[in-house]
Structure 1
């Protein structure tokens, strides 16, 4: 909502303006009024308006003097002069001060609406221009906290070019990576009756909760490890093993950790996960091989033929499905149709060279890729089902019997995604929405809001709220409440904290208010959850 401040020493003009402005239709609100320039400067400091409508001739400080002082402080909003003086000297000064418009009293309602519509359009254009001009600055801001995660993901999936790999390890961490063995555990979040009808935003919340549980277990049981989120329902853990630990001892401990994670996820989230183990690798450059082994282990648990035998998916690591998934997901996210087509073609060639690939595996691959597409596109504010409203996925997948049919199907879908007008309109907001989502999960225990986002992203809170709601279907405030309530449910299920302690841990100092929000969100009070042990 745009904030408007009116400055005029004529009470009748002030009241008339408040009645004449179509507040609801232009999505604006009156944030203050003042009767002279000095008072106006103070109101600007307090309210930070987007638009100022001001008279020129006023006591104490006139409008032009006030505007000059605002320009000295780089006031970012728009200025409209509404004055009974039509003297050319005033108009020239206003032009020099770069005001948006100069209206002479009396002004008609139609003139006022036209000018405000034009000024708001200019404000929107400023916001878009700011995004474009500060793209590099914002990307650095957004991705700096995730740089290490992206590097770890590239090591795990094999997308890091090995010729430059050694140089990419910070000198302070070389001992950590070069003098340990490594093993990857693949994690698959299983689809259940509980998750079947979840929206993508709720699925995202479950993923964050899952990540929190896994990180807490690892911090206690194996600190020298890294948890990496991959795509949609896949994640992985990279275990770094001290060479003084016997191999069998390490494997036993890792299997025990896997069992504990599985039990915790089932207990606290009522979700089922499946785990696959790769082999221990002596060199960190072979970590991606362990990743492939882990997910091939998961695949062998998943794909069966109508006769009940495991479909042959081969242990040949040349297929590298996780690397293929990761590279294709990145190409989809950045709308690189040609790159995506090349990735698909190269993978299909690998499949064609293997005589053991079955229709069951190809159809499983389709299902996996469609899930990955959905989650990847969701991350850039696109709902896959909206791009294919009349599609019968199951009927299409069952028709795929050969690698060639798989290639044609994938390339057709990728083309529709990459050329979608909906994609082009929304993808530029991806980084901003990602940052806001991550910020909510990192700072839910604090008093945060759109003002915090605005200061960090150099965008107005109005604009942030618009793009966040367009991307997620939720206001940022509602999303933050969901995050807090999910965390509160987890803490209540653990049974280690009193309700007032949980209230503080999820960002509420007022316990009754927390209880009312919790009941509205879950249907039961926190005390009822505590008694039931749910």
Structure 2
């Protein structure tokens, strides 16, 4: 209900206005009345009406003085002046005080109704604007952690806009990057037969588990660190040591390999980038970390695939570096977003650089084609889209085998990118991928809380039923199943640390009913919690 207050020094005007206003028609109610500006000011402060109808000439305090005081106090309501005098100077002052209308007495009922309808329409528009602004602020608040993560990833691979590559644009929570030094550790999950057999949903859970393990192991050595995923199989740790620490980084690399294999039975290899003096050079360390892996040089031990980058060992080997991290990341991002023009430009730009080299053999072109196709394939696989629906493995292998020169490679990739982006199935998938990415990230961040699909539908402004279908199509399972598996995976990690009792773990991951938790745990892992501990 809209609240309307009236201030006038004539009682019969007050009574007449009360009777004349079509309250029910306007959806309005009486807020209060006063016979002078001073009493009106007190009444308005107490009742906060949406609309004030006031005279100008009144005893003790005039209507203009009252309005000026209200505006100085931040009163946002609508004000209508109803005066027995037509005075240009008063009208000018009223305009300065943001008055909605200025009418002379006596006022007819049709005019009064028209003015009030107009003012209420203004209030409705402003209310809708406030609601939209509130929704936008809520969205920004919800997405802020994910925007911050994206900033870290862009800073790590070198895709920040040039204007943001300075200290003034560091997010507040990363101001400590201004002090000390910086190094990166690249983590690559090996695509063996076991890893390739996982579904998209299972792989998302495993990546989540890898991030937990990597962060937990690293924080035992470095309090300040960041973990960011570059693609479905590659991730990066950013650490901030105070001094040269090659040996410590190598030891950390072996612990990461041991821990990930022990908990998840996944095979990984590690690359260690150089130490940098400023955070803007972190992308250089990132390139070095993965270049060390690609070269396979300076392996610290036959038992561990941990490789250290050294400038002295890089000369003459750049040809072995298939793709810079920045290029791979941008190509994968373009394909996941179905940005055909961007993907085409990246590929043609890279192959143009390749053509500038002399003596590029057919076998090298075919190897590049295979690797580029791998980047595209796994970026789409990460988005829940399997290219087997469009192209068979035999078809791709045969076509790559027929490539002999860079121009042929460019034409072949261009045609494939166009076919993928034109696919109706991929168009539908890419439109909803961002929503599902937000949902899965939110689940991993808030799994211990009371989470429902209805809660998330409010956050992404999509109906619950539609969101349920989108989530199932992208991940291959229902929202509730995914949430349960995230919780049980985290519970398994906590139990294996042996620092907490079963009921404490259950509560930590969002279950108050211990028998129910044990039943779910056994259903998913094949054993109950106590058996796992033993």
TM range (shorter): 0.5 to 0.7
* 1:212-245 Cα distance to aligned partner (Å, 9 max, x none): 1111122221122221110110111122233xx2
TM-score, scaled to structure 1: 0.65
Residues 495 and 529 in structure 2, CA contact (< 8 A), matched pair in contact too: yes
Matches within 5 A, 1:165-184: 165-166=165-166, 169-170=169-170, 172=172, 176-184=176-184
SS at match of 2:511: coil
- The structure-2 alpha-carbon separation of the partners of 1:230 and 1:355, relative to structure 1 and needing over 3 Å to count, comes to same
Matches within 5 A, 1:242-261: 242=242, 245=243, 247=244, 250-261=245-256
Residues 183 and 240 in structure 2, CA contact (< 8 A), matched pair in contact too: yes
Q: Tell me how far apart the structure 1 counterparts of residues 201 and 421 of structure 2 sit (CA, whole Å).
A: 23
SS at match of 2:318: coil
| Residue 476 of structure 2 is aligned to residue 462 of structure 1 | no
Please name the residue that 1:435 is paired with: 438
One of 396, 410, 413 as aligned partner of 1:410: 413
Q: Tell me how far apart the structure 1 counterparts of residues 287 and 362 of structure 2 sit (CA, whole Å).
A: 21
Please name the residue that 1:221 is paired with: 221
Residues 311 and 361 in structure 1, CA contact (< 8 A), matched pair in contact too: no
Cα displacement (A) at 1:316: 7.6
* 1:52-92 Cα distance to aligned partner (Å, 9 max, x none): xxxxxxxxxxxxx9xx9xxxxxxxxxxxxxxxxxxxxxxxx
Q: Tell me how far apart the structure 2 counterparts of residues 232 and 312 of structure 1 sit (CA, whole Å).
A: 30
Q: Tell me how far apart the structure 2 counterparts of residues 506 and 191 of structure 1 sit (CA, whole Å).
A: 30
Residues 294 and 321 in structure 2, CA contact (< 8 A), matched pair in contact too: no
Please name the residue that 2:57 is paired with: none
- The structure-2 alpha-carbon separation of the partners of 1:181 and 1:257, relative to structure 1 and needing over 3 Å to count, comes to same
Q: Tell me how far apart the structure 1 counterparts of residues 318 and 174 of structure 2 sit (CA, whole Å).
A: 31
CA-atom RMSD in angstroms = 3.4
Residues 444 and 484 in structure 1, CA contact (< 8 A), matched pair in contact too: yes
Aligned length: 391
- The structure-2 alpha-carbon separation of the partners of 1:399 and 1:297, relative to structure 1 and needing over 3 Å to count, comes to farther
| Residue 333 of structure 2 is aligned to residue 335 of structure 1 | no
- The structure-2 alpha-carbon separation of the partners of 1:134 and 1:347, relative to structure 1 and needing over 3 Å to count, comes to farther
Please name the residue that 1:280 is paired with: 275
Please name the residue that 1:527 is paired with: 530
Cα displacement (A) at 1:275: 0.7
* 1:326-353 Cα distance to aligned partner (Å, 9 max, x none): 1111221222212211111111122223
TM-score, scaled to structure 2: 0.65
One of 498, 503, 519 as aligned partner of 1:516: 519
Matches within 5 A, 1:332-411: 332-355=335-358, 365-378=368-381, 380-388=383-391, 392-411=395-414
Cα displacement (A) at 1:409: 3.0
- The structure-2 alpha-carbon separation of the partners of 1:172 and 1:460, relative to structure 1 and needing over 3 Å to count, comes to closer
Residues 295 and 321 in structure 2, CA contact (< 8 A), matched pair in contact too: no
Matches within 5 A, 1:126-141: 140=140
Q: Tell me how far apart the structure 2 counterparts of residues 166 and 293 of structure 1 sit (CA, whole Å).
A: 22
Query: Looking at CA atoms only, which structure, 1 or 2, has the larger radius of gyration?
Result: 2
- The structure-2 alpha-carbon separation of the partners of 1:333 and 1:139, relative to structure 1 and needing over 3 Å to count, comes to farther
Unaligned residue ranges in structure 1 (runs of 5+): 1-64, 69-132, 303-309
Q: Tell me how far apart the structure 2 counterparts of residues 508 and 172 of structure 1 sit (CA, whole Å).
A: 35
SS at match of 1:437: helix
Q: Tell me how far apart the structure 1 counterparts of residues 357 and 348 of structure 2 sit (CA, whole Å).
A: 15
Q: Tell me how far apart the structure 2 counterparts of residues 517 and 399 of structure 1 sit (CA, whole Å).
A: 52
Q: Tell me how far apart the structure 1 counterparts of residues 159 and 188 of structure 2 sit (CA, whole Å).
A: 21
* 1:150-174 Cα distance to aligned partner (Å, 9 max, x none): 2222222122233541166238578
Q: Tell me how far apart the structure 1 counterparts of residues 156 and 191 of structure 2 sit (CA, whole Å).
A: 24
Residues 182 and 238 in structure 1, CA contact (< 8 A), matched pair in contact too: yes
Residues 268 and 494 in structure 1, CA contact (< 8 A), matched pair in contact too: no
Q: Tell me how far apart the structure 2 counterparts of residues 139 and 419 of structure 1 sit (CA, whole Å).
A: 31
| Residue 424 of structure 2 is aligned to residue 421 of structure 1 | yes
| Residue 291 of structure 2 is aligned to residue 292 of structure 1 | no
| Residue 188 of structure 2 is aligned to residue 188 of structure 1 | yes
- The structure-2 alpha-carbon separation of the partners of 1:135 and 1:509, relative to structure 1 and needing over 3 Å to count, comes to closer
Task: Select between 148-157 and 486-495 the one with higher mean Cα deviation.
Answer: 486-495
Q: Tell me how far apart the structure 2 counterparts of residues 353 and 139 of structure 1 sit (CA, whole Å).
A: 47
- The structure-2 alpha-carbon separation of the partners of 1:312 and 1:367, relative to structure 1 and needing over 3 Å to count, comes to farther
Unaligned residue ranges in structure 2 (runs of 5+): 1-23, 28-132, 298-312
Residues 278 and 294 in structure 1, CA contact (< 8 A), matched pair in contact too: yes
Q: Tell me how far apart the structure 2 counterparts of residues 225 and 488 of structure 1 sit (CA, whole Å).
A: 24
Please name the residue that 2:317 is paired with: 314
One of 453, 472, 476 as aligned partner of 2:475: 472
Please name the residue that 1:205 is paired with: 205
SS at match of 1:194: helix
Q: Tell me how far apart the structure 1 counterparts of residues 410 and 211 of structure 2 sit (CA, whole Å).
A: 33
- The structure-2 alpha-carbon separation of the partners of 1:518 and 1:357, relative to structure 1 and needing over 3 Å to count, comes to farther
- The structure-2 alpha-carbon separation of the partners of 1:447 and 1:143, relative to structure 1 and needing over 3 Å to count, comes to closer
Matches within 5 A, 1:53-92: none
Q: Tell me how far apart the structure 2 counterparts of residues 374 and 509 of structure 1 sit (CA, whole Å).
A: 42
